[in-house]
A and B are shown apart, each in its own frame.
Chain A
Amino acid sequence: MVEAFPHDFVLAGDGRPPEDVVRAAIAPRYTVAPDGRPRSLRLTWLDTFDCRLRHAGLTLLHSVGSRVSDYTLTGDDGEQITAEAKGLRWPAPADALPPGPLRARVRPATWVRALIPTARASALVRRFRVLNADQKTIAWLTISDMSAPGGGAADLAPRLSVTAVRGYKAQARRIIRALTAAADVIPAALSPLDSVLAATGRRSCDYSSKIDVKLTPEMPARSAMQTVLLRLLDTLEANVPGTVHDTDTEFLHDLRVAVRRTRSAIKLCGDVLAPGTAEAFRGEFKWLGDVTTPIRDLDVYLLGYGGMAAALLAATPAELTPFHDHLAQRREVEQRELARALRSRRFLDMTKAWRGALAAPPPRRGMTAAHLAADRIRRADRQVLRRGSAITADSPPESLHDLRKRCKELRYLLEFFASLHDPAIHQQAVRDLKGLQDCLGEYQDGQVQQHEIRMFGAQMMAEHDVPATALLAMGELAGQIARRERRARREFAGRFEDFASAASQRRSRALTSGAG
């Protein structure tokens, strides 16, 4: 077996200093000598809000002491990369890390998401050398006494970490075997991060934008929808601080998706909620959707800006810069508006009242969750088939836009009720629909973006002098988008045919077999 390094232990302790426990375990072959003075460190673990580093098997730690400030990136295989840290405040994008191998590993894993502190602790760290008969250091031992803010120090036993010096892995393995056999030295079941989270009563990585709810077929339809809607409300609220502080663009994205799903749920299944609930909140969620739209539209441009600029043929990326500046300026204004809306009394009252409304007890008699799911998915599926079949090469853009909305509704219903369905059938049904949705999305986004580029051009001309080269570059951009839009329009018939195929419809029947 190949041991991973560093290899961690927890010291149960009988009052003896941890280093004495270690000394006794590895003597007489190896000796232990202190290396430098104990260091007090403030530890901050960093990850994205949706735990992308953890999902990629990486842990990023920022350690700050009186003379040291550095980052350590540890892979699940134990490989470590360190980098010196200089004056960075969190949250910050991965681009803000110092250039080098550590940033090169972190950046692709985080995508566009910011690094935020996920846990904090303080630690008294002592380092020791393990020496062989030549008095050569063959491994490092680190003993950390950690304490988590708000956590009980008793829950965090001293940790012992063994790191092999390069070229001395065989000897380090011998040390690990000796320690494993020693009393009071227990192989660590949790990583330092997980032990800090456990001591503070938190779970790691408890955020997901997915609707991970467990429904049962026999539960009342109202309870099922309340479960789904409460999950969506939790997601919405979890993304509010990151959206208000503009930590990264995806907080708003996830918040908007939660709002859209909620609106669809109210529209398609609101009749099973307590009487009057759907009517009372329909308008409020429309308001919330509307206040978040302008900034997301700008984000879509800004996130894709690098790719768009690089794809220019006639114009140069530099000529497009005034367009970027205009988008960035408008975004600042829209961000302030959005933050104001999310801090407003209206928003706070609305979410509080919504949570209260979702606590209404279910009726004594009524539809089951299985019946509701089958009925609504069947209706939505029929809508998509009917409207899609009616679209010809001459149909106006509005008919495709309308079909896109119906597809989204069907997709959301599949997601709400996923836990009631066979996972394989559910996944294939989503895949069938996704192909059609992607095509419709490309088409409609293309249409909207061409219109918006004209609008942005007019705004720029009205607000200040714009170089002709910038407008020409924007024109080329509109041309690029128009080509994509036309390609999507040409592909539509084939994509719809795939969706409406016999196999796809068989799957749909399997999902709706319980409907009356």
Chain B
Amino acid sequence: MKILATYNIKGGVGKTATAVNIGHLAARDGLRVLLWDLDPQGAASFLLRVRPRVKGGGAALIKGRGDLDAAIKGTDFDRLDLLPADFTYRKLDLILDATKKPTQRLARLLRPLGDEYDLVVLDCPPSISLLSESVLHAADVLLVPLIPTTLSVRTLDQLTDFIAGFDGHRPKVLAFCSMIDRRKRLHRDIAERLPAERPDVARTIIPALSLIERMSLERAPVTAFAPRSAAARQYAALWAEVAERAL
């Protein structure tokens, strides 16, 4: 079982859209996929039409009292399951802090699912916190959406420096340019320059397309409701690149 996390300190950069579309594409390719919506806002749960509620809340799951298995919901797509968000996830930092070895906690919780799933996708809330640290320790791959600004590149550097300081397991970091507006010169420049200059940035870009925004109306992955669209093609290319380079 591989664990892939979509992560960025910033919000609104396309983490959830990426997690949902990548999860759907991986399941369509035959992998058994679990998507864990760790964001208390529950956007991934909303997109997959699952109510953002977990019996016993985040505390029960993290402390191991709640049955992770019982909380999992099937989605409308074969082989794609969801561990929904819960509003109590907003306190996950505090809950984790009260456990032993909090940074290892997520990895330990997910380990028993190894027989059941080939891929776990973690959709992380935008923050740098104990939860993010636990995610970084659990993940095999960090998929980092970068919006085309200089500050984004700086935060990517901060992240890779932070991970370089880990003892033992370190996730592979693969960033990609997200929400690219081809009409803007700055976006075009960064989208061309970054993959050429940095090996940890994917060649594939995800453009800013209204069809991706439409996911919240359709409540489905764009790869499902518009599989032949440019947006779906870009996500398919991104998934292929992630599978080839990082999994």
Question: Which residues of A are interface residues toward B (Cβ below 8 A)?
Answer: 84, 101, 129, 134-137, 165-168
Query: 7 other contacts beyond A135-B49, A135-B219, with CB at 8 A cut-off?
Result: A129-B76, A134-B219, A165-B73, A166-B72, A166-B73, A167-B74, A168-B73
A352 and B28 CA atoms in complex are apart in Å by 58
Which A residues are CB-close (under 8 A) to B73?
165-168
Contact, CB under 8 Å: B49 / A134: yes
Which B residues are CB-close (under 8 A) to A166?
72-74, 81
Which B residues are CB-close (under 8 A) to A101?
115
Shortest beta-carbon distance from B14 to chain A in Å? 24
A74 and B50 CA atoms in complex are apart in Å by 28
A135 and B46 CA atoms in complex are apart in Å by 12
Contact, CB under 8 Å: A168 / B49: no
A135 and B76 CA atoms in complex are apart in Å by 10
**Total A-B pairs, Cβ < 8 A:** 31
Which B residues are CB-close (under 8 A) to A134?
49, 51, 219
B30 interfacial by beta-carbon distance below 8 Å: yes
A84 and B76 CA atoms in complex are apart in Å by 21
B220's closest neighbor in chain A, by CB? A135
B70's closest neighbor in chain A, by CB? A167
A443 and B156 CA atoms in complex are apart in Å by 75
Some 13 contacts from A to B, beta carbons below 8 A apart, are A134-B51, A134-B219, A135-B219, A136-B49, A136-B50, A136-B76, A137-B74, A137-B76, A165-B75, A166-B74, A167-B50, A167-B70, A167-B73
What are the nearest 6 A-B pairs in CB distance?
A167-B73, A166-B74, A165-B74, A136-B49, A137-B76, A134-B49
A146 and B186 CA atoms in complex are apart in Å by 61
Can you list, as one digit per residue, whether each of B59-78 has a CB less than 8 Å from chain A (1) or not (0)?
00000000000111111100
Shortest beta-carbon distance from A13 to chain B in Å? 29
Which B residues are CB-close (under 8 A) to A136?
49-50, 76
A129 and B70 CA atoms in complex are apart in Å by 22
A485 and B219 CA atoms in complex are apart in Å by 72
Can you list, as one digit per residue, whether each of B108-119 has a CB less than 8 Å from chain A (1) or not (0)?
000000010000
Which A residues are CB-close (under 8 A) to B49?
134-137
A135 and B71 CA atoms in complex are apart in Å by 20
A163's closest neighbor in chain B, by CB? B74
Shortest beta-carbon distance from B73 to chain A in Å? 4
Which A residues are CB-close (under 8 A) to B74?
137, 165-168
* Partner pick for A167 among B30, B72, B115, CB 8 A cutoff: B72
A129 and B76 CA atoms in complex are apart in Å by 8
A165 and B75 CA atoms in complex are apart in Å by 8
Can you list, as one digit per residue, whether each of B15-37 has a CB less than 8 Å from chain A (1) or not (0)?
00000000000000010000000
A84 and B74 CA atoms in complex are apart in Å by 20
Shortest beta-carbon distance from A35 to chain B in Å? 9
Shortest beta-carbon distance from A181 to chain B in Å? 26
Known contacts A136-B50, A166-B72, A167-B72; is-contact A84 B219 (Cβ 8 Å): no
Shortest beta-carbon distance from A135 to chain B in Å? 6
A167's closest neighbor in chain B, by CB? B73
B30's closest neighbor in chain A, by CB? A84
* Interface-centre pick from A84, A134, A135, A166 (highest chain B CB count, 10 A): A166
Shortest beta-carbon distance from B184 to chain A in Å? 36
Which A residues are CB-close (under 8 A) to B50?
136, 167
A129 and B224 CA atoms in complex are apart in Å by 15
Which B residues are CB-close (under 8 A) to A129?
76
Which B residues are CB-close (under 8 A) to A167?
50, 70-74
A166's closest neighbor in chain B, by CB? B74
Shortest beta-carbon distance from A426 to chain B in Å? 45
Shortest beta-carbon distance from B56 to chain A in Å? 15
A168 and B219 CA atoms in complex are apart in Å by 19
Which B residues are CB-close (under 8 A) to A165?
73-76
A135 and B50 CA atoms in complex are apart in Å by 10
A356 and B78 CA atoms in complex are apart in Å by 59
A168 and B71 CA atoms in complex are apart in Å by 11
A134 and B81 CA atoms in complex are apart in Å by 17
Which B residues are CB-close (under 8 A) to A137?
49, 74-76
A258 and B67 CA atoms in complex are apart in Å by 54
A129's closest neighbor in chain B, by CB? B76
Q: Which of B182-234 contact A (CB under 8 A)?
A: 219
A166 and B80 CA atoms in complex are apart in Å by 10
A141 and B76 CA atoms in complex are apart in Å by 13
A134 and B30 CA atoms in complex are apart in Å by 27
Which A residues are CB-close (under 8 A) to B75?
137, 165
A167 and B30 CA atoms in complex are apart in Å by 21
A165 and B73 CA atoms in complex are apart in Å by 7
A129 and B74 CA atoms in complex are apart in Å by 13
Shortest beta-carbon distance from B120 to chain A in Å? 15
Which B residues are CB-close (under 8 A) to A168?
73-74
Which B residues are CB-close (under 8 A) to A84?
30
Shortest beta-carbon distance from B118 to chain A in Å? 11
Shortest beta-carbon distance from A239 to chain B in Å? 39
* Interface-centre pick from A134, A137, A167 (highest chain B CB count, 10 A): A167
A380 and B121 CA atoms in complex are apart in Å by 72
Which B residues are CB-close (under 8 A) to A135?
49, 219
Shortest beta-carbon distance from A495 to chain B in Å? 45
Which A residues are CB-close (under 8 A) to B219?
134-135
Which A residues are CB-close (under 8 A) to B76?
129, 136-137, 165
B46's closest neighbor in chain A, by CB? A134
Which A residues are CB-close (under 8 A) to B70?
167
A166 and B75 CA atoms in complex are apart in Å by 8
B219's closest neighbor in chain A, by CB? A135
A165 and B81 CA atoms in complex are apart in Å by 10
Which A residues are CB-close (under 8 A) to B30?
84
Shortest beta-carbon distance from A31 to chain B in Å? 13
Shortest beta-carbon distance from B142 to chain A in Å? 27
Can you list, as one digit per residue, whether each of B33-62 has a CB less than 8 Å from chain A (1) or not (0)?
000000000000000011100000000000
Shortest beta-carbon distance from B181 to chain A in Å? 32
Shortest beta-carbon distance from B240 to chain A in Å? 20
A158 and B49 CA atoms in complex are apart in Å by 31
Shortest beta-carbon distance from A374 to chain B in Å? 58
A135 and B47 CA atoms in complex are apart in Å by 11
A101 and B116 CA atoms in complex are apart in Å by 10
Which A residues are CB-close (under 8 A) to B71?
167
A135 and B75 CA atoms in complex are apart in Å by 11
Can you list, as one digit per residue, whether each of B70-104 has a CB less than 8 Å from chain A (1) or not (0)?
11111110000100000000000000000000000
A136 and B46 CA atoms in complex are apart in Å by 10
Shortest beta-carbon distance from B132 to chain A in Å? 27
Shortest beta-carbon distance from A348 to chain B in Å? 50
* Interface-centre pick from B50, B51, B71, B76 (highest chain A CB count, 10 A): B76
A165 and B82 CA atoms in complex are apart in Å by 11
Shortest beta-carbon distance from B51 to chain A in Å? 7
Shortest beta-carbon distance from A64 to chain B in Å? 17
A134 and B219 CA atoms in complex are apart in Å by 10
Which A residues are CB-close (under 8 A) to B115?
101
